[in-house]
Amino acid sequence: EYTQLLYLPSKAPFDLWNRDKKAGIKLYVKRVFIMDDAEALMPTYLRFVKGVVDSADLPLNVSREMVQGSQTAARIKKTLTARVLKEINELANNDAEKFATFWKEFGIFFKEGVATDPSAKDDIVPILRFHSSTQADLTTLATYVERMKEGQDEIYYLVANDVASAKQSPHLDAVVSRDLEALLLVDVV
């Protein structure tokens, strides 16, 4: 049993790229403050999420090591992660403009999440957005697959430093000449 209050900041903090920075979740047990930055309650790729968790199931004399090895903390982490991903997915589906701003600040961390948290992959993939060789706006994998030509069973992609370089790449010519779409992967991840 636990209560949570989580929020997503509108701007990325300056130290967000520091993977050693702990998650922004504060842990309370029965309304008694236990610790700042309880990294056992949020995966690394969601380190920008801020909030408070108050659990009645953890002992008051809990230590960092005890939290990390606790089944209760593992269940709380799984539930919190699923809830955050669900809310972000709803934002993506219901408010494209607000999500585009959010994606610009935090999108790369979800691409990190696919690589570092395979158990949440199915929840993360619908959130992902990519540049495309044929679309002006960012696209999802599902939308890309819907637009695939009949008989096409591969996803074409091009890795580059930025969108301008990708669109000028001679490697893209082979795909474009066949009237196919390629995803332009320009993020560091």
* Separation CA 87–CA 46 (nearest Å): 13
How far is residue 106's CA from residue 48's CA, in Å, rounded to a whole number?
8
Cα–Cα distance between 61 and 59 in angstroms, integer? 6
Q: What is the pLDDT of residue 21?
A: 64
The pLDDT, as a whole number, for residue 64 is 67
pLDDT score, position 74: 87
Task: Flag the least confident range among 73-77, 82-86, 124-128.
Answer: 73-77
pLDDT of residue 4: 93
Kindly report the backbone phi and psi dihedral angles of residue 182, in degrees, each rounded to the nearest multiple of 5, phi listed first: -125, 145
For the segment 95-118, the average pLDDT, to the nearest whole number, is: 92
The whole-angstrom separation of Cα 177 and Cα 189 is 28
On whether the CB atoms of residues 115 and 45 are closer than 8 A, the answer is no
**Over the chain, what is the mean pLDDT?**
89
DSSP letter at 156 equals E
Q: What's the pLDDT score for residue 125?
A: 94
Whether 46 contacts 37, CB under 8 Å: no
SS3 127: helix
Torsion angle, alpha carbons of 40, 45, 50, 51, to 10: -40
Higher pLDDT: 163 or 12? It is 163
Averaged pLDDT, 159-176: 92
Res. 78: pLDDT tops 70:
yes
- 1-15, 59-73, 90-104, 149-163: the lowest-pLDDT one: 59-73
Sheet strands side by side (includes 2-7): 2-7, 50-55, 24-29, 32-35
pLDDT band of 70, cuts 50, 70, 90: confident
Residue 14 has pLDDT above 80, yes or no: no
- For residue 114, the model assigns a pLDDT of 93
Q: What is the pTM of this model?
A: 0.85
Q: For the segment 19-69, what is each residue's pLDDT rounded down to a tens digit? A: 666 667 898 888 888 888 888 889 989 988 999 999 888 777 776 667 777
- Helical H runs in 95-168? 96-116, 121-124, 141-147, 163-168
Separation of alpha carbons 18 and 175, rounded Å: 37
Euclidean distance between CA atoms 119 and 113, whole angstroms: 10
